[in-house]
Each structure stands twice: as structure tokens, then as C-alpha cells.
Amino acid sequence: MAVKIVVLDGATVNPGDNPWEPVARLGELTVHDRTPDELILARAAAADILLTNKTPLSATTIDALPKLRFIAELATGYNNIDVKAAGAKGIRVANVPGYSTVSVAQHAFALLLSLANGICVHTQAVRQGEWISAADFSFCKGSPVELAGKRLGIVGLGEIGRRVAVIAHAFGMEVAAFNPKSRRQPEGVPVTWLSLEELFATSDVVSLHCPLTPANEKFVNARMLRLMKPAAFLINTARGALIDEAALAEALDTGQIAGAGLDVVAAEPMVAGNPLRTARNCMITPHNAWASLAARGRLMAVTAGNIAAFLRGEPMNVVNGDCLAKGLGHGKG
């Protein structure tokens, strides 16, 4: 009997240009573009293998799925899955590390360059006819910022953070970092290691590339923002809840910092009342830094590889190996 594979929320991974064929070869595949909470159990009930991107799999849900053998996270982060509950039932959870590193680092710099050069502000001014009516051949709505010689402070020097450091170095920027667990740095890029407070206080740009944990939720708060230079920019392509959004909106609106470039917010999709939506000089993209076709192609390929490895009895990229029930969670059979 074919293994039953169910995708709970596949629309963002494959909006039509990234076929599920590599996964479909491995079993009987059912793909749902999106799954509301009230339909999770019904759609997952027959699955031997579940694929989820952001659809939550709580302990209660996992406990109600006796057929489930393997969960494939369609992302690097897996905070939407209760991995301990899965492990207690012998269910392995595998993620896809590193697939979006290049795309996210590129996006972080796209946000920074747009802020530094006022791309959106000047494009809008041209569309509104301000260049047509200008007295000179050139006009500036605020002076562009040259990045060479400026300090980029990176919070979280993992794969994406190191890639950002390489790009920053190529622009002639000085790289500083805070990373409490490791001091691994990219080859050929000198890094100044700082405390978190010193990094915020001395950097011209602060870029967040750390995972969200209970310990660092809203760590970018009013106190940390007050440490920043008035001309500094804040970039966040990591997780929205790292930032106290009300405090950042106030810092932007009062000119406490010069601008922010964000690809994430705390509640996604964004809620209408988010104070950052109308904050001064706050550029926001809708959590799509990861979504290049190249990155999604890698995501699909590695996910298929994770499933195939599990079915061979040689699971890889498992994130809950330390909490698996002994003797359970094998791929064969």
C-alpha cells in the first residue's frame, strides 16, 4: 500500500511554478493550498507523512493522529510544530536548513539599499511629477547614504548572518556581530565581536538574523532603540516578534532612528492596526525574502530528500532526535 503524504499548506511553496513531482514520486500525495485550524485533523487523519509550512501542529493535534509517522517542515524554522510531543510518540520532524540563505541575505541588502538611497521615496516623487517641475537636473529628498565605511551590526551570525557579512564586506562596510553560541565568522571577513548593547549603540545599521526564542522575544525594545544612533537603520528578515512594534513605530515617528526595513511582523498576515504600517520611513515587504524560485526549488528538493531518507530508514535533518521515544520513529515498515 502506498504511503499517504498530505501537504497542509502548499500555496506559498508552489504557487504554480514549483511542481510537487519530487514528493509525488514517493507516495500517494494530496496537496492543500491552505488548511484552516478547524480542518487540520480531518485532512491529516489518513496521513503517514505530513508536510506543513506554517499550519500549526500542536500536541493535541499530534496525539489525535495515530497513523502519523513523519512530519516534514517546509521551512527552516519549526516553531509551528510541537516537536517534543511528536518525539514522545516516536514521530520524527525534519526541516530544510539553509535553502533560503542566499535569497534572504540578498533581500536584507535590498531593504538596506532602498533605505540608504531613498529608492521608494524618489520613485514616488518622480511619479508625482516632482522631477518634471524641479529647478535643477537633479533633486534629492534627503541625502543618499554611502555605506562604505559604515558599521553593520549583525545579531545572529549563522548561515544567513555570515552571508550578509560577506555582502557588507564587499560594500566596504565594517562588520560587527553578536552571537552568544558561536564565534564562527565568514572566511576573509574580519568581524568585531560586541555585546548586544554595544552593537546597537555603535552600529550604523543593525540587521537581525537570529531565531525567535522565549528569551529574546521583543528584545528590540524601547531601551535598545534608544541606544541606536539617530542616523541608524534597523533591518529585520528574521522573525517579527523579535521587535516591540509599538516601540519601533515610536522611534521612527520621533526620529529616534532614521529608518527600518522589515520583511516580517509579529502577526502574519499583518493586522490592520499594526503601528508599523504607517510609521515614518518604514519599508515593509510581506515575508517574501525566502520566496525566490531558486530557493523554493531547493526547498522542494530537500523536502523530497528528507522523506525519501525517512522511508529508507536513514532519516536526515531531524530536529527532535533528542526527544524521540526509544525504539519508535523508524522509517521502514
Domains identified in the chain and CATH numbers? 4-97+292-323 (3.40.50.720), 101-284 (3.40.50.720)
How far is the CA of 129 from the CAs of 69, 124, 143, in angstroms? 61, 9, 19
The secondary structure of 9-48, three-state, reads: CCCCCCCCCCCCHHHHCCCEEEECCCCCHHHHHHHHCCCC
Q: Which of 239, 245, 296, 298 is catalytic?
A: 239
**Residue given cell 531531524 in the structure block:** 318
With contact defined as beta carbons under 8 Å apart, do 247 and 225 qualify? yes
**SS in 3 state form for 120-187?**
HHHHHHHHCCCCCCCCCCCCCCCCCCCCCCCEEEEECCCHHHHHHHHHHHHCCCEEEEECCCCCCCCC
Catalytic residue among 32, 151, 163, 287: 287
- The pLDDT tens digits of the residues spanning 285-295 come to 999 999 999 99
Mean pLDDT, the chain, whole residue set? 96
Our answer to whether residue 268 is catalytic in this structure is: yes
- Paired residues of 50 in beta bridges: 6, 71
Contact 303, 52 (CB under 8 A): no
Query: At residue 75, what are phi and psi to the nearest 5 degrees?
Result: -175, 180
Cβ 208 vs Cβ 155: under 8 Å: yes
Which residue is catalytic, options 130, 217, 268, 314? 268
Give the model's confidence band at 169: pLDDT under 50 very low, under 70 low, under 90 confident, else very high.
very high
266: which 3 cell numbers? 509579529
Lookup result for grid cell 505530513: 50
CA distance 16 to 185: 38
Report the pLDDT averaged over residues 139-158.
Answer: 96
**Structure letter (DSSP) for residue 326:** T
Q: If we measure between CA atoms, which residue out of 163, 146, 156 comes closest to residue 112?
A: 146
pLDDT average, residue stretch 101-111 = 98
pTM greater than the 0.75 cutoff? yes
Catalytic residue flag (residue 169): no
Is the pLDDT assigned to residue 60 strictly greater than 80? yes
Euclidean distance between CA atoms 250 and 330, whole angstroms: 52
Q: Phi and psi for 290 in degrees, rounded to 5?
A: -85, -10
Asked if 10 and 32 count as a contact pair (C-beta separation under 8 A), the reply is yes
Distance CA 192, CA 176 (A): 4
For 109-142, the pLDDT digits (tens) are 999 999 999 999 999 999 999 999 999 999 999 9
User: Is the CB of residue 171 less than 8 Å from the CB of residue 148?
Assistant: yes
pLDDT tens digits, 197-222? 999 999 999 999 999 999 999 999 99
Q: How confident is the model at residue 1 (pLDDT cuts 50, 70, 90)?
A: confident
Is residue 287 part of the annotated active site? The answer reads yes
Strands 28-31 and 4-7: parallel
Per-residue pLDDT band for 63 (boundaries 50, 70, 90) equals very high
Q: Say if CB 143 and CB 164 are below 8 A apart.
A: no
